[in-house]
Structure 1
Amino acid sequence: MINRIAFLGCGSMGEAILAGLLGSGLKPSSVVATVRRVERAEELASRYGITALAGAEEPEANPLAVQGADVVILAVKPAGIAQLCREVAPALAAGTVLVSVAAGVSLAQLAAALPQDQPVIRSIPNTPLKVRRGVVALSTGSGTTPEQLSLAHEVFVSSGLVLDVPEEQQDAVSAISGSGPAYVFYLAEALAAAAQEFGLDEDTARMLARETVAGAGLMLTEPGADPAVLRRAVSSPGGTTEQAIATFEAQGLPAIVAAGTKAAAARAAAITEDLAGR
């Protein structure tokens, strides 16, 4: 059970995780967050009732925040993760679990900047955490116990599906679920653009695309939902939908999607290598 949690960095993703935790019943008094700007700290404190510290006002904000924390969420940009870990290392309790949400930062890179045997977990969350339909994949460091992993699950479970995967699968997870929402948004953009080519006005086109994608997504959340079965149910033989799907197939859409996800995974691996060389 989480008694105290610290968010080091609380941008869009950090705030999504924070909102899910508080929505699940965690008391605001159990949370401290650090950000750079005073205005952002005041905004978070006012919106959620948490303690928020601004580095611009309190240079020791990060070490102060981690003191006594059961879990620390590392939510700054990847390039700053190692320095952040070194900054807070002296203030960490031996059993404090650090959970990184920074893309491309490996467990080895995190461990190298932390005290020996500090429990550390790498996560790949996605933006639908904001609406509690997210997906989060967790990979644990060698010194992390099942009980400590359970604390990390507690952080995310109120905001979506939580999976445990080997670290070597993190790039694949990043390419599918981490970046995946952007692919869906891209589809909605393309549908809206196609609607405008038919002569529909921009507002109507966007509304049709948005609600169609959102509604189809909800159908996929039903127990036992299978995208292929759902697709076939809409594709009457000889009908309009079947013709559209046949055209997508002929134009190579499945291969395009596969190529895009492979490029995303390769970029994730390259980021890890780049960070390792710094």
Structure 2
Amino acid sequence: MSNETEPTVSFLGCGSMNEAILGGLLAGGMSPASVTATVRSAERAATLRQLHGITVLATSEDPEANRRAAASADVVIMGVKPVGTIELAREIGSVLKPTTTVVSVAAAISLAMLEAALPAGQPVIRSMPNTPSRLGKGVLSISAGNHADASLMAQARKILGSAGTVVDIPEEQVDALSAVSGSGPAYVFYLAEAMAAAGVELGLDPGLAKILATETVAGAGFMLAEPDADPTALRRAVTSPNGTTEQAIATFDRLDLPAIVAAGARAASNRAQIITEELDN
């Protein structure tokens, strides 16, 4: 992005998800001068300044930090916890420029809830990223609010695209997407934990087992990222007839691992719906 054309972006709240997006944007070439962030503590603010070279305001030192950051922004990315998102939207609403796009990465906060908390006509986009965005390898969805036109969606797509793959989806599919890609990194890390534990059970040193599991999962991820990679074809290529891998896969099938994964994803999606209903009441 060139400094002449890139928008000013303010990250309100800079926990793991917003910092992941922030890191991806900066790694993708966005100028630190175009970015402002807000956090609670002065210590956290100092850490982010040192790490990223951006302007960071601490609400513990300046109660107006969120409003100051929002007032100067072309794009505001709200990254506080879902329970605080609507309150934050109300806090900044009166200082926003009418053209400022508000992007929320909070799970369970609907576009309708955001639009009701912000000034009438404010452009709103809902995004569901995941933590690999920190490495520029994330998946980030975008769903348009009533006043986010094609040009604003394109702007959001360009900004978030530096953090990974951006997919446009209707809002009614956000919970399903979150159950796959939003929570998905945790599933993969859980698999790596289980593989390491299996290695220990088979007699490997715990440190070695962790290395083997971690590097295997990471390496497989690189293979999946290759052009035209297909997970089924990759799996079959490793699964020789009557071989050791075939025995492992047969065991997973007997225990119905796909059904277990599907049940977990459904539970995540259902929980998101419940949280939305709780926060909307």
**What TM-score do you get using the length of structure 1 for normalisation?**
0.98
Give, in whole Å, the separation in 2 of the partners of 1:220 and 1:183.
16
Residue aligning to 2:26:
22
Deviating 4+ runs (over 2 angstroms): none
Give the secondary structure class of the aligned counterpart of 2:57: strand
* Partner deviation per Cα, 1:222-270 (whole Å, 9 max, x = no partner): 1111111011101111111111111110111111111111111000111
RMSD: 0.9
Q: Amino acid of the residue matched to residue 236 of structure 1? A: S
**From 217, 227, 235, the counterpart of 2:221:** 217
Q: How does 1:149-164 map to 2 (within 5 A)?
A: 149-164=153-168
Residue aligning to 2:188:
184
> Which stretch of structure 1 is more off in the superposition, 44-53 or 30-39?
44-53
Asked if 1:251 is matched to 2:252, the reply is no
Residue aligning to 1:39:
43
Q: Amino acid of the residue matched to residue 19 of structure 1? A: G
Asked if 1:229 is matched to 2:233, the reply is yes
User: Cα distance, 1:28 vs. partner?
Assistant: 1.2
**1:2–1:71 CA contact under 8 A, matched in 2:** no
**From 252, 260, 278, the counterpart of 1:274:** 278
Asked if 1:75 is matched to 2:74, the reply is no
**1:17–1:155 CA contact under 8 A, matched in 2:** no
Residue aligning to 2:13:
9
Q: How does 1:113-192 map to 2 (within 5 A)?
A: 113-192=117-196
User: Cα distance, 1:50 vs. partner?
Assistant: 1.1
User: Cα distance, 1:68 vs. partner?
Assistant: 2.8
**From 48, 54, 65, the counterpart of 2:52:** 48
Give, in whole Å, the separation in 2 of the partners of 1:40 and 1:68.
22
**1:31–1:50 CA contact under 8 A, matched in 2:** yes
Residue aligning to 1:63:
67
Task: Give unmatched runs, 5+ long, in structure 1.
Answer: none
**2:22–2:134 CA contact under 8 A, matched in 1:** no
User: Cα distance, 1:18 vs. partner?
Assistant: 1.1
Give % identity. Answer: 58
Residue aligning to 1:84:
88
Residue aligning to 2:112:
108
**1:103–1:124 CA contact under 8 A, matched in 2:** yes
Give, in whole Å, the separation in 2 of the partners of 1:27 and 1:131.
17
Asked if 1:196 is matched to 2:200, the reply is yes
Give, in whole Å, the separation in 1 of the partners of 2:258 and 2:197.
21
**2:75–2:101 CA contact under 8 A, matched in 1:** yes
* Partner deviation per Cα, 1:54-103 (whole Å, 9 max, x = no partner): 11111111111111311000000000011101110010000100110111
Task: Give unmatched runs, 5+ long, in structure 2.
Answer: none
Residue aligning to 2:243:
239
**1:82–1:113 CA contact under 8 A, matched in 2:** yes
Q: Amino acid of the residue matched to residue 12 of structure 2? A: L
Give, in whole Å, the separation in 1 of the partners of 2:169 and 2:256.
30
User: Cα distance, 1:29 vs. partner?
Assistant: 1.3
Give, in whole Å, the separation in 2 of the partners of 1:195 and 1:213.
14
**1:74–1:98 CA contact under 8 A, matched in 2:** yes
